[in-house]
Structure 1
Amino acid sequence: MRKFIAIGDVHADFDTMWAALRAASCADAHGQPTPPVRQGFYQVVFIGDLVHPKNLGEYARLTGLSTFDARNEDHLFAAARQQVRELEKLQAFQKSAPTSVHFILGNHDDGVVHHRYQLGTSGGLTHDEFDPERGGVVLPDHLRHWFQGFLRELRVGRVQFAHVGPLPAFAYYDDLFYTDHGPKRWWHDTPEYVMMADLAYGIYGHTQMHGGIHLEEAACFAMIDALPDREYLELLLDPDQHNPVLSVRAVPF
Structure 2
Amino acid sequence: MRKFIAVGDVHADWESLWAALRAASCADAACQPTPPVQAGLYQVVLIGDLVHPKNAGEYERLTGVTRFNSRDPDHLFLAAREQVRQLEKLRAYQAAAPHAVHILLGNHDDAVLNPRFVLGTSGGLSHLEFDPARGGVHLPEHLRAWMQGFPRELRVGSVQFAHVSPLPAHTYYDDLFYADASTKRWFRDTPEYVQMAGLSFGIYGHTQMTGSILLDESAGFAMIDALHEREYLELLLDAGQPQPLRSVRAVPF
2:64 and 2:28 map into 1 onto residues whose CA distance is: 25
1:162 equivalent to 2:157? Answer no
The unaligned stretches of length 5 or more in structure 1 are none
1:242 and 1:88 map into 2 onto residues whose CA distance is: 37
Note the 1:3-82 alignment, pairs <5 A.
3-82=3-82
- State the TM-score, normalized to the length of structure 2: 0.99
1:116 equivalent to 2:116? Answer yes
SS in 2 for 1:69: coil
Q: CA deviation at 1:67?
A: 2.5
1:238 and 1:28 map into 2 onto residues whose CA distance is: 26
Give the match for residue 240 of structure 2: 240
Give the match for residue 197 of structure 1: 197
Contact (CA 8 Å) 2:56, 2:123: kept in 1 or not?
Answer: no
1:169 and 1:102 map into 2 onto residues whose CA distance is: 21
The unaligned stretches of length 5 or more in structure 2 are none
Note the 1:89-104 alignment, pairs <5 A.
89-104=89-104
1:88 and 1:123 map into 2 onto residues whose CA distance is: 28
Q: Deviations over 1:77-133 (max 9, x none)?
A: 000000000000000000000100001000000000111100112331110000011
Q: CA deviation at 1:157?
A: 0.4
1:251 and 1:96 map into 2 onto residues whose CA distance is: 25
Q: CA deviation at 1:144?
A: 0.4
Give the match for residue 140 of structure 1: 140
Give the match for residue 105 of structure 1: 105
The percentage of aligned residue pairs carrying the same residue is 71
1:96 and 1:67 map into 2 onto residues whose CA distance is: 38
Give the match for residue 83 of structure 1: 83
Contact (CA 8 Å) 2:6, 2:44: kept in 1 or not?
Answer: yes
2:36 and 2:216 map into 1 onto residues whose CA distance is: 29
2:121 and 2:240 map into 1 onto residues whose CA distance is: 42
2:78 and 2:133 map into 1 onto residues whose CA distance is: 17
1:93 and 1:42 map into 2 onto residues whose CA distance is: 14
Q: After the TM superposition, which segments of 4 or more aligned residues of structure 1 sit over 6 Å from their partners? A: none
Q: Deviations over 1:18-68 (max 9, x none)?
A: 000000000000000000000100000000000000001000100112321
Contact (CA 8 Å) 2:44, 2:102: kept in 1 or not?
Answer: yes
Aligned pair count? 253
SS in 1 for 2:128: coil
SS in 2 for 1:176: helix
SS in 2 for 1:219: coil
1:123 and 1:181 map into 2 onto residues whose CA distance is: 19
Contact (CA 8 Å) 2:105, 2:151: kept in 1 or not?
Answer: yes
2:176 and 2:182 map into 1 onto residues whose CA distance is: 10
1:173 equivalent to 2:177? Answer no
Give the match for residue 151 of structure 1: 151
Contact (CA 8 Å) 2:55, 2:122: kept in 1 or not?
Answer: no
Note the 1:176-187 alignment, pairs <5 A.
176-187=176-187
Q: CA deviation at 1:240?
A: 1.6
SS in 1 for 2:176: helix
